[in-house]
Amino acid sequence: MGAEYSWGEIISYCERLEKLYTPAVADTLDDMGFMNQTMESGFTPIIPSAVIAGPAFTLDEAKTKKSKRLSDYSPEFVAQALTAIFDNMKRGQVIAVNTNGFWGAGAFGELMATTSKYYAGVKGAVVDGPIRDIGRVLEIGFPVWARGNIPADSIGRVDLVGINSPIFCGGVRVNPGDIIFADVDGVVVIPVAEVDLGKVVEKAEEVVSAERQSREEIKNGSSLLDVYRKYGKL
């Protein structure tokens, strides 16, 4: 079972995660019996050096049934839709987007990135599908992990069918508030209702420390067997 932490404590643990790397956290979750928390391969960071960790804010998108142009929507409808998304985000969160298998339009772009960063204080996004406006998203320095790129707009092609509800992203179930940790190796999800976030972070820090020490001993000529016996890792 997960432990109860304040928002400040959660953000503090996320900052500690950002000093680690996803393979160490994936290995830690494996050792704790949670072996299906790593998203499938193919998520590429548009900023290769980016490392982010934060509570998930989920968006569920799907191919539209009836296409409309942006001019077909009233300004009030657009404003209400955007407010429903961004006014419910919290500073330090990470957006996770499920496209329900539709890759025919950009599931995330410049407007979403700009508003997420500057209005809501979101750290980044993980998109199980293609994105667009990559050049402009890079200009504002907003980290995004995506599985492709496409210039087509989502307007008239995509409906938003869920906000901050459980989704599947990269083959992993993501509940709102689960911790998303992403770096150049990929994306890991920590299911906070089922596992103690603090223990995950502490164990992952121990893994990183052991791996660093074992690497140094190998560099200095220690045998692989001695290193493995000492640290349980190579």
- What pLDDT does residue 2 have? 78
Question: CATH no. for residue 115?
Answer: 3.50.30.40
- What pLDDT does residue 151 have? 97
* 210 or 56, which is more confident: 56
Residue 50 is assigned to a structural domain of this protein: yes
Please choose, from the candidates 8, 18, 49, 11, the residue with its C-alpha nearest in 3D space to the C-alpha of residue 188. 18
Residue 27 is assigned to a structural domain of this protein: no
Phi-psi category of residue 92: left, alpha or beta, with phi > 0 → left and psi -120 to 50 → alpha: left
Q: How far apart are CA 155 and CA 152, in angstroms?
A: 9
Name the phi and psi angles at 202, rounded to 5: -65, -45
Judge whether residue 74 has pLDDT over 70: no
- DSSP structural state of residue 117: I
Output the six-digit token pair for 233.
């890792």
Residue 158 is assigned to a structural domain of this protein: yes
Domain extent at residue 83: 36-193
Task: Give the residues across from 76 on adjacent strands.
Answer: none
Residue 16 is assigned to a structural domain of this protein: no
Q: How far apart are CA 222 and CA 25, in angstroms?
A: 26
Residue 228 is assigned to a structural domain of this protein: no
Residue 3 is assigned to a structural domain of this protein: no
Residue 229 is assigned to a structural domain of this protein: no
- What pLDDT does residue 1 have? 75
Residue 9 is assigned to a structural domain of this protein: no
* pLDDT tens per residue, range 81-103: 778 889 999 999 999 999 999 99
Q: In the Cβ-directed half-sphere of 109, how many Cα atoms lie within 13 Å?
A: 13
In 93-231, alpha helices (H): 110-115, 134-139, 197-219, 224-231
What is the domain count for the chain?
A: 1
